[in-house]
């Protein structure tokens, strides 16, 4: 896959899946905008790892519309355009329907939906004019198997990822005539900071053995699918959702 000269914005690129995606795009010739929210040191560490030249840092809270508008514009300015957006930033929160206060329930839904769904939608909206200026573009959304199997203690997370799947499909139809293509990858558990507590706990072995491979995904596993969906030649996959969960959850 050749991304030479391509300008790529990856949200939540300071660690985990986002960092792996940044590294892989850069290895294939892209110039990368590494987006982060709070952890500047981790984002700078990602930037320092990237081969090639012309990479930039951009900062902002994905859940704040004005921040999204600003950091997408900053990425396009720093990279002299924009060809690919990877919507990777997101949060997970437990907020079970039984045991949560109504105020906590409301707050969790607001935080999770604005970070995982509305923020991604806003990033796409802000990226589209930059894509049009280049004659087209690619969006890859990072979803979750939780969109299909349900998340009983984190229903807003599952709903936000299901909404992200639908968003990608809707905009794939709307934007294909403009040479803008959208794909979605739906991982299961991934070896990231967000999953560390679960994997190190008493359920860790069970989680790993949900897959016949006996492990969870690495960030690099997910990055491979992201690059495929963003690559030239994958246009006819627009609107697709690719599972990356090691057959731990199979949907029909």
Mean pLDDT by 10 residues, the chain (252 residues): 96 98 98 98 98 98 98 98 98 96 98 98 98 98 97 97 98 98 96 78 86 95 98 97 96 88
Angle formed at CA 90 by CA 85 and CA 96, multiple of 5 degrees? 150
232: exposed, middle or buried (Cβ count in 10 Å: 0-12, 13-18, 19+):
exposed
Fold adopted by 7-243: Rossmann fold (3.40.50)
* pLDDT score at 167: 98
CA 210/CA 236 separation, integer angstroms: 31
Using the structure block, give the residue that is written with the tokens 């990425």: 75
Choice among 36, 92, 102, 157 that is catalytic:
157
* pLDDT score at 197: 77
Using the structure block, give the residue that is written with the tokens 């203690």: 153
SS3 183: strand
* pLDDT score at 195: 74
* pLDDT score at 183: 98
* pLDDT score at 8: 98
* pLDDT score at 252: 83
* pLDDT score at 210: 92
* pLDDT score at 231: 97
**pTM, full prediction:** 0.96
Distance (Å) of CA 13 to CA 87, 133, 165, 212? 10, 25, 21, 29
Sheet holding 31-36, edge to edge: 56-59, 31-36, 7-10, 84-87, 137-142, 180-187, 241-244
Q: Active-site residue 157, yes or no?
A: yes
Rounded to 5, what percent of the chain is helix, strand, coil?
50, 15, 35
CA 56/CA 46 separation, integer angstroms: 10
């Amino acid at each position: 896959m050749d991304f030479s000269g391509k300008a790529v914005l990856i949200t939540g690129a300071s660690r985990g899946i986002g960092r792996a995606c940044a590294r892989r795009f850069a290895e294939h010739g892209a110039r990368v905008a590494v987006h982060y929210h709070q952890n500047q040191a981790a984002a700078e560490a990602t930037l320092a790892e990237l081969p090639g030249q012309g990479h930039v840092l951009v900062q902002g809270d994905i859940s704040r519309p004005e921040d999204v508008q600003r950091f997408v514009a900053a990425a396009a300015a720093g990279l002299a355009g924009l060809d690919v957006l990877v919507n990777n930033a997101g949060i997970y929160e437990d907020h079970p329907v039984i045991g949560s206060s109504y105020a906590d329930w409301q707050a969790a839904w607001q935080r999770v939906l604005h970070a995982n769904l509305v923020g991604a939608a806003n990033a796409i909206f802000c990226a589209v004019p930059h894509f049009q200026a280049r004659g087209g573009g690619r969006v890859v959304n990072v979803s979750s198997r939780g969109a299909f199997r349900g998340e009983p203690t984190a229903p807003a997370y599952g709903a936000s990822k299901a909404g992200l799947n639908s968003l990608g499909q809707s905009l794939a139809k709307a934007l294909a005539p403009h040479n803008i293509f959208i794909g979605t990858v739906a991982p299961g558990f991934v070896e990231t900071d967000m999953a560390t507590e679960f994997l190190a706990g008493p359920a860790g072995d069970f989680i790993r053995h949900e897959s016949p491979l006996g492990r969870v995904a690495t960030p690099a596993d997910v990055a491979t699918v992201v690059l495929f969906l963003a690559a030239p030649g994958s246009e006819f996959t627009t609107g697709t959702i690719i599972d990356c969960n090691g057959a731990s959850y199979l949907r029909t």
